[in-house]
């Protein structure tokens, strides 16, 4: 396949690009920043299969140049570009960059006949990590792709809107399928995961490898259609024993301590046999994409 990868200079985008190259695909890589030296070193032996363009995805002129400049037509789009974290940024920019850049990429791709699209979404589309403390509420746990979404902050709102844009584009172009990959706190391995994984995100995390495999499966797999969201998270919560005097605290105990009276319905049977099981149900990604967090 010939694939457009946006956000190719970032953590996830660069890993996805390298993985696609490993599988023999060709890439047009784009980012607002040039590919960093360490990424260029990784792809140096396959540079003939990579075309690079630097530019702003919120700029319509650049978007047209991007799609017009490809040597061969794209078979798919991997849209990872956007604001990864809202910390320290103007909330208007956070919202506008994510929403506008995503619409520009998805609409342009669909209008040009590209039928396989993957976009980076977030578990925060529900309204979690950046929500004001006094507004933390959950209808039920475990959480799946049908759980209510009530984002308030600009980052989370932008992710919800990006998923709605995907659904609208699919309605207009029924042949186009779009996967929204709801990434969780993402690190290379559990050893690099820190106490930053906390109660606001329900102690959920995902490895870089698990995320990139989900992205590639969403692009290349067959047997599904539409605009679909997928939670991509580890099977168990991250709450190190060092934070609890060497004891591995059960998930429900953490929920009762940090989310008292803030969850309407708790299906305790979810944790039978595994008291550290994640609050997020990833069975849809397993069933539809053939994905699992750990190989």
* Least confident range of 25-34, 69-78, 147-156, 182-191: 182-191
Domains of the chain by residue range: 2-289
Tell me the pLDDT band of 192, cut-offs 50, 70 and 90.
Answer: low
Contact between residue 188 and residue 205 where contact means Cβ atoms under 8 Å apart: no
Q: What is the mean pLDDT of residues 62-78?
A: 94
Average pLDDT, the chain: 93
CA atoms within 13 A on the CB side of 226: 7
Specify the pLDDT at position 156: 94
For the stretch 76-131, pLDDT in tens is: 999 999 998 888 999 999 999 999 999 999 999 999 999 999 999 999 999 888 88
Contact between residue 237 and residue 276 where contact means Cβ atoms under 8 Å apart: yes
Specify the pLDDT at position 136: 80
Task: Report whether pLDDT(195) > 60.
Answer: no
* Extended beta strands in the chain, E state: 2-6, 26-31, 50-54, 76-79, 116-122, 138-141, 177-183, 185-187, 205-207, 227-232, 263-266
- Cα–Cα distance, 99 to 128 (Å, whole number): 19
Instruction: Name the CATH superfamily housing domain 2-289.
Output: NAD(P)-binding Rossmann-like Domain (3.40.50.720)
What is the token pair recorded at 72? 């061969």
Specify the pLDDT at position 117: 98
- Gap between the terminal Cα atoms of the chain: 24
**Cis amide linkage into residue 142, ω under 30° from 0:** yes
3-state SS assignment for residue 185: strand
Specify the pLDDT at position 154: 95
What is the token pair recorded at 250? 């059960």
Chain center to CA of 219: 13
Q: What is the pTM of this model?
A: 0.94
Specify the pLDDT at position 145: 98
Q: What is the mean pLDDT of residues 156-182?
A: 98
Task: Report whether pLDDT(139) > 70.
Answer: yes
Task: Report whether pLDDT(168) > 70.
Answer: yes
Contact between residue 43 and residue 17 where contact means Cβ atoms under 8 Å apart: yes
Contact between residue 184 and residue 197 where contact means Cβ atoms under 8 Å apart: no
């Amino acid at each position: 396949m010939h694939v457009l990868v946006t956000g190719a200079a970032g953590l996830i985008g660069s890993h996805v690009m390298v993985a696609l190259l490993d599988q023999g695909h060709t890439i047009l890589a784009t980012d607002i920043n040039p590919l960093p030296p360490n990424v260029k070193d990784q792809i140096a032996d396959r540079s003939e299969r990579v075309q690079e363009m630097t530019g702003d995805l919120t700029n319509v002129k650049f978007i047209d140049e991007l799609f017009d400049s490809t040597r061969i037509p794209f078979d798919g789009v991997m849209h990872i570009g956007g604001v990864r974290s809202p910390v320290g940024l103007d909330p208007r920019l956070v919202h506008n960059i994510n929403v506008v850049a995503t619409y520009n990429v998805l609409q342009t791709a669909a209008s040009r006949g590209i039928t396989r699209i993957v976009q980076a979404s977030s578990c925060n589309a529900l309204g979690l990590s950046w929500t004001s403390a006094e507004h933390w509420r959950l209808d039920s746990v475990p959480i799946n792709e049908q759980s209510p979404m009530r984002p308030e902050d600009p980052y989370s709102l932008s992710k919800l809107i990006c998923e709605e844009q995907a659904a609208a584009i699919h309605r207009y172009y029924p042949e186009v399928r779009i996967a929204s990959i709801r990434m969780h706190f993402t690190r290379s391995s559990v050893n690099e995961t820190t106490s930053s994984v906390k109660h606001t995100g329900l102690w959920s995390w995902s490895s870089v490898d698990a995320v990139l495999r989900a992205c590639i499966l969403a692009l290349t797999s067959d047997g599904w259609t539409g605009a679909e969201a997928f939670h991509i998270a580890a099977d168990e919560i991250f709450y190190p024993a060092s934070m609890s005097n060497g004891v591995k605290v059960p998930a429900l105990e953490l929920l009762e301590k940090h989310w008292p009276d803030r969850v309407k319905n708790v299906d305790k049977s979810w944790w039978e046999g595994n008291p550290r099981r994640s609050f997020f149900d990833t069975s849809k990604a397993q069933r539809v994409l053939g994905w699992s967090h750990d190989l």
